Amino acid sequence: MISELKTCTSGGLVFPVAMFRPDDTLVMNSRPRAAVLYFPEDVADEAAIEKLGTFFMSVGYQMFAVLASIRPGEELAVAASAAAFIRRNAAEFGTDPDLIVTLGYGKAALPAALPALARGHIDPAYGDSTVAGAIVERPLFPADFQPGEVCTADAAPVYAAGEPSDDALLSLGEALTDNGIVFSLHLGPEPHDAFLRWIYRIRLDAGKVIR
């Protein structure tokens, strides 16, 4: 991989994270950068992870891919640990600690969504694991997952995409609406750059875009 392998240690957890860092010598990659915390569906698919990491580097963002096989019930712990790790080392990594956006597809949508939705349920032992937002596409949540039960009042904005027949997506949209959480729900074919526009919106709302 064209990445740097880091070891995340936070809240008693230890697991590898692949960091895709853009070239600091290019003006478009000026620091500090927004960080995309990515949870792969298949941590063994190095080609897919590298392709996505290369894409984010090409647009000046920095991607961190969690390479741990997350067991059921550990999603929030691993995600919070990874977010806290990035925040704690932001100066070294060249990232903005206030611009961490999680990303997950399919089964990996759960660990991507939880740090944004369930801030009030995160153990302080992990440190500051605050994220600016989450992106989930074609979510495959466990049958017993109830979005409305995990959402807290301080939840971060969520961008969700999938098919109109996707019950998990519609359930997530209802929970976000009921809890007054800022979100964007996209049903149908997904524009390639849609999540980039969502990250830009998060940066804009946070006053992190120079105009």
Q: Give the pLDDT confidence score for residue 38 in this predicted structure.
A: 97
Q: What is the pLDDT of residue 143?
A: 86
Question: Rounded to whole angstroms, how far apart are CA atoms 52 and 29?
Answer: 17
For the segment 107-112, the average pLDDT, to the nearest whole number, is 95
Rounded to an integer, the average pLDDT of 31-52 is 92
The CATH homologous superfamily to which domain 4-205 belongs is: Alpha/Beta hydrolase fold, catalytic domain (3.40.50.1820)
Give the pLDDT score at 67.
Answer: 96
Supply the pLDDT for residue 51: 92
pLDDT of residue 173: 85
More confident residue, 137 or 198: 137
Residue 106's pLDDT band, with cuts at 50, 70 and 90, is: very high
Q: Say if residue 209's pLDDT is above 60.
A: no
- Nearest partner of 209 among 114, 115, 132, judged by Cα: 132
Per the DSSP assignment, residues forming a β-bridge with 136 are 104, 160
Residues 81-90: what's their mean pLDDT?
A: 95
Give the pairing of strands 33-39 and 4-10.
unpaired
pLDDT band at residue 205 using 50, 70 and 90 as cut-offs: low
- 33 has a pLDDT exceeding 60: yes
Exposure string for 48-63, b = 16+ CB within 10 A, e = fewer: ebbebbeebbeeebbb
Q: Smallest Cα–Cα separation from 137: which of 162, 117, 156? A: 162
For the chain, the domains span 4-205
Contacting residues for 73 by C-beta, under 8 A, at least 6 apart: none
- Counting Cα atoms < 13 Å in the Cβ hemisphere of 99 gives 25
Q: In which order are the strands placed within the sheet that holds 62-66?
A: 4-10, 13-20, 62-66, 33-39, 95-105, 133-137, 158-162, 183-187
* Cβ count within 10 A of residue 38: 25
Percent of the chain with pLDDT over 70: 84
